[in-house]
Structure 1
Amino acid sequence: MINWGIIGCGDVTEIKSGPAFSKIPGSRLVAVMRRDAAKAADYAARHNVPKWYSDADELMNDEEINAVYIATPPAFHLSYAIAALKKGLHVYVEKPVTLNADEALAMAEAVKESSAKLVVAHYRRAVPLFLRIRELIASGTAGDIRTLQIRMWQASNPALVASTADNWRLQPELSGGGYFHDLAPHQIDLLLFYFGEPDRYQGYSLNQSGLSAADDHVCGQIVFKNNIVVNGSWCFNVGEGQQTDTCEIVGTAGNITFAFFGNYVSWKTLEGEKTEIFKHPQHIEQPMISQVVDYFNDVQGNPCSIEDAIGTMKVMDGFIK
């Protein structure tokens, strides 16, 4: 039985992930932690969690717990992960895995020195829509892939992002950057999941609007070792009517289009056009958490290793330098 403790039971865990830990065979949520004791107690009561803590060390010292889910702002991921691994606790850590690639490398060293396991929550790898897109790519639906064009353009207060009392996502010392650091890890991880290792990448970022301390405009290019070229544009200061979330995969036989934060995939070839609509799981992280539990129980391999996440963080670092 994998007995979980959540470190950081904030808004992101309410539906996306938290309830799933007790809905998977061989898994149950034993305790939650939040520095605000009243909020931790409230979360535990509403979700029928037996125990709550306001101190992470106390949760990790609970003898009933053998795995932790770290869902704090990224600034705290590395320290909590190292502490858990040293105690022999398995770790499932939210994205972005750390503030930058150097911290991700430090986390990898901690994994090597521990008998415990670690998985990074790039959960879209396990969501049926994105597995279907991978299948379409691999089956040659669009022919030989030549280029991807990504547009993630949102207003300064994106509806895609969970609302919090203090918007830590716009505090680079806590998040690593701005909304790019919150949303792009999903996108870049999927690119690496689909196309393998990058050969080179470059980009730039700037604070275009000056609405916060975080850069709000990022552009980046990737050339994969298989010569597939990606051009990406992330802008978080467009007008409400200019918002878009699109990825177009262009090949020699057609194209595949989808939204990273949507529920559809469309493709167009000489044979015609087709669109498939998907209904995401109620708890969208549940398919990944199920794989995490299997990995912790030695039933399958690691669904997203720290090495995978290092690749994502290196690309992100390359885009914002």
Structure 2
Amino acid sequence: MLESPFYFQENKPIRWGVIGCGKVTEKKSLPAYQKTPGFQVDMVMGRNKERVLDYAKRHKVPGWTTDSMEIIENPNIDAVYIATPPDSHKFYALQVAKAGKPCCIEKPMAPNYQDSLAIYEAFTKKNVPLFITYYRRSLPRFLKVKQWLDENLIGKVSHIRWEKTKLPNDLDISGKYNWRTDKEVAPGGYFDDLASHGLDLFSFLLGDVKEANGEATNKLGLYSAYDMVSGSWKHENGIRGEGIWNFGASNRLDKVEILGTDGTITFSVLDEAPIELKSSSGHQTVEIPHPEHVQQYHVENIKNHLVGKAQHPSIGKSGLHTSWIMDKILSAI
């Protein structure tokens, strides 16, 4: 049974409005909404008139606006996708909840747990579906990892560890504005933008987390947000986890290892790399490419949820849990 009631008949188009027309929407998400049967994107909002007009023309979106309320309060818009930086998520989401419309919010849900909680409570009070764009829960590559775990192919899991490093990029060094390194928008810096994907995925694969802690520092001083984070956590089933996220490293690495009593599973969270299974039964390396628009399966799952076919794997409750883990690791709560 779905956690939220469904709202739409399957043969009725669901009309979306999109708040935000940044880079994430260009290929990853907006085309996925347009290509999902039964979905149509009817309006997009951006603060810059020339930019949003150009965006609407390029993506063949019939309506555009610089006022978010023209989307949120529009009787011809059924659902809203919020694709802005995290510091504005709460502002827009509370208005969408008040309007009683289903909503999908880009990850992370908000810059901190308290804002995420306010969003979650607003939609829960209205009994309106809320989705968070942790689309890795819907990708075939990670569903294969979950299948291996569910089939106990590496025995009883004891530990998961993730090391994610990257070199500073030209934007970091230039000092030009980047919301991902602004502590007012993303307190954890790239941790908020990138590590959130993995931490959410680990809860999906291994169960919710009951304890988490960590340490965050600004090692290089290139920007205001943290650039080095380390953390550890414990899932409710006793599985231990640890992570290192170094965004001022001398090399690039994205490696997750799940350890069991009878083997290991290795994969990358962010890089499009093979997944690998080693156990007493043998060695498998599997390559499963992402779809052209990486949010395609996530968006299709939204459709299935809204017509009552299936529960979406990334909803407000799970997104809130990920926000809690992140704040715990950043020692914010």
Shorter chain as normaliser: what TM range? over 0.9
2-side partners of 1:287 and 1:223: how far apart?
29
Corresponding residue for 2:9?
none
Alignment of 1:141 with 2:135, yes or no, is: no
2-side partners of 1:180 and 1:57: how far apart?
31
- Equivalent of 1:63, from 40, 60, 75? 75
1-side partners of 2:128 and 2:158: how far apart?
40
Report how far residue 298 of structure 1 moved. 2.3
Alignment of 1:277 with 2:290, yes or no, is: no
Note the 1:75-224 alignment, pairs <5 A: 75-157=87-169, 166-224=177-235
- Equivalent of 1:260, from 246, 262, 269? 269
Aligned length: 315
Tell me if the contact between 1:147 and 1:250 (Cα under 8 Å) persists in the aligned partners.
Answer: yes
Where 1:132 maps in the other structure, the secondary structure is helix
Structure 1 gap segments, 5+ residues each: none
Where 1:183 maps in the other structure, the secondary structure is helix
Please give the per-residue CA displacement for 1:38-85, whole angstroms capped at 9, x wherever unaligned.
110111111111011111112223221111100100011111011011
What is the CA RMSD across the aligned residues, in angstroms?
1.6
Where 1:223 maps in the other structure, the secondary structure is strand
Report how far residue 232 of structure 1 moved. 0.5
2-side partners of 1:141 and 1:310: how far apart?
30
1-side partners of 2:241 and 2:39: how far apart?
39
Please give the per-residue CA displacement for 1:170-218, whole angstroms capped at 9, x wherever unaligned.
1121223300000111101111111112231111100011110011010
Tell me if the contact between 2:229 and 2:330 (Cα under 8 Å) persists in the aligned partners.
Answer: yes
Report how far residue 90 of structure 1 moved. 1.1
1-side partners of 2:177 and 2:217: how far apart?
23
> Matched residues, percent identical?
35
Please give the per-residue CA displacement for 1:94-120, whole angstroms capped at 9, x wherever unaligned.
100011111111111101222432111
Tell me if the contact between 1:33 and 1:52 (Cα under 8 Å) persists in the aligned partners.
Answer: yes
2-side partners of 1:109 and 1:91: how far apart?
14
1-side partners of 2:185 and 2:99: how far apart?
25
TM-score when normalising by structure 1? 0.95
2-side partners of 1:129 and 1:252: how far apart?
23
Corresponding residue for 1:19?
31
1-side partners of 2:71 and 2:288: how far apart?
37
2-side partners of 1:299 and 1:232: how far apart?
36
2-side partners of 1:4 and 1:166: how far apart?
30
Please give the per-residue CA displacement for 1:214-245, whole angstroms capped at 9, x wherever unaligned.
11010110111211111100000011xx2100
The letter for the 2-side match of 1:305 is I
- Equivalent of 1:236, from 241, 244, 247? 247
Corresponding residue for 2:6?
none
Tell me if the contact between 1:145 and 1:228 (Cα under 8 Å) persists in the aligned partners.
Answer: yes
1-side partners of 2:16 and 2:77: how far apart?
6
Corresponding residue for 1:292?
302
Tell me if the contact between 1:21 and 1:29 (Cα under 8 Å) persists in the aligned partners.
Answer: yes
Corresponding residue for 2:5?
none
Report how far residue 88 of structure 1 moved. 1.8
TM-score when normalising by structure 2? 0.91
2-side partners of 1:49 and 1:202: how far apart?
44
2-side partners of 1:200 and 1:112: how far apart?
25
Where 1:9 maps in the other structure, the secondary structure is coil
2-side partners of 1:226 and 1:90: how far apart?
32
Tell me if the contact between 2:187 and 2:226 (Cα under 8 Å) persists in the aligned partners.
Answer: no
1-side partners of 2:126 and 2:281: how far apart?
53
The letter for the 2-side match of 1:230 is G
Alignment of 1:318 with 2:328, yes or no, is: yes
Where 1:111 maps in the other structure, the secondary structure is helix
Change (3 A) 1:277 1:216: same
Where 2:285 maps in the other structure, the secondary structure is strand
1-side partners of 2:138 and 2:325: how far apart?
22
Higher deviation after alignment, 168-177 or 184-193: 168-177
